[in-house]
Structure 1
């Protein structure tokens, strides 16, 4: 069973990062960016394969038409950013945090996430299929209609998150606590839900989803 008292490792970011202007640094395959802060900018039509970001802060950055397949993010923080529809498939993230970010349609298929925090983020329609997530928390945001099928979860936390209509097929939820989350429907099987922690009200909702009739008479 997961424990709400367990804490994720936060990004280890030093003080005094150097400001980096996107116009000064054209991204390319296997490109490396480290010890930098990238802020108040629009990052359009950038494409890099196996790029590496180490000890980087993105603040108020807007990504459009960007593909960073098989990238590596270590000790990285995103603050007030818009990464909607960004492609981050097969990416490795370690000690990464997203705060107040827009992640609509973000694609991180087949990625490995370790100590990753999503706080007050909106990731509706995000694609997380076949992602291995260990030490990952979604806190006070939305994953409505996201595709989280075939995921491997360990120390995975969903707290006060909208998970309505999330696809969870072939994702085992044993020990995962969704009791504080909001949903009217889920794409999930009874076997996948085995040992999942839910609230009494959610039990009624899930019973309805699976075609059971709940007798509410005393």
Structure 2
């Protein structure tokens, strides 16, 4: 199914499996997805305002060039999520598996990652200034050196990130 330029407002989707959907340039406002499977769905060039994904499967979900405002994603499996070239404002990711996700060329404002798996995710050309990554797993994260400036990390993460500087630490 393919839909373009549709609007969905004040709606809750619960225990629904979306299959082979393309939702291009659609608008979602005050929408909640609970225990839904949105794997491999495309939301390209859409806008999501006050949208919640709770305990959803979002494996390979595509949200490129999307505007996301006041987004909540909690307890989701979102491996291989594609957020490239999106504008994300006021978003909270809590206990989500975001391994191998693509967050390239994004504009982020007021973002929180709490206890997330960001292992081997790509953040190139996405400044992380002021974003607290300290309680998330970031092993193998891919980014450019300027992108990590100002991010908040814990001691072991800082040791991992020294590879970006070409530094070898020897005891």
Q: Give the TM-score range, shorter chain.
A: over 0.9
* Largest Rg, 1 or 2: 1
Residues 1:56 and 2:11 aligned together:
yes
State the aligned residue count. 171
Structure 2 counterpart of 1:110, from 45, 58, 65? 65
Shift of 1:78: 0.3
Residues 1:151 and 2:113 aligned together:
no
Residues 1:163 and 2:122 aligned together:
no
The list of structure 1 runs, each at least 4 consecutive aligned residues, that deviate by more than 6 angstroms after superposition, is none
1 CA distance for matches of 2:40 and 2:22? 9
Residues 1:181 and 2:136 aligned together:
yes
Aligned 1:67-106 pairs, distance under 5 A? 67-106=22-61
Q: Deviations over 1:9-36 (max 9, x none)?
A: xxxxxxxxxxxxxxxxxxxxxxxxxxxx
Does the 8 Å contact 2:99/2:118 carry over to 1?
yes
Shift of 1:208: 3.3
Does the 8 Å contact 2:145/2:164 carry over to 1?
no
1 CA distance for matches of 2:6 and 2:12? 15
Q: Tell me which residue corresponds to 1:137.
A: 92
1 CA distance for matches of 2:102 and 2:22? 19
2 CA distance for matches of 1:189 and 1:95? 30
2 CA distance for matches of 1:74 and 1:184? 34
**More moved, 179-188 vs 146-155:** 179-188
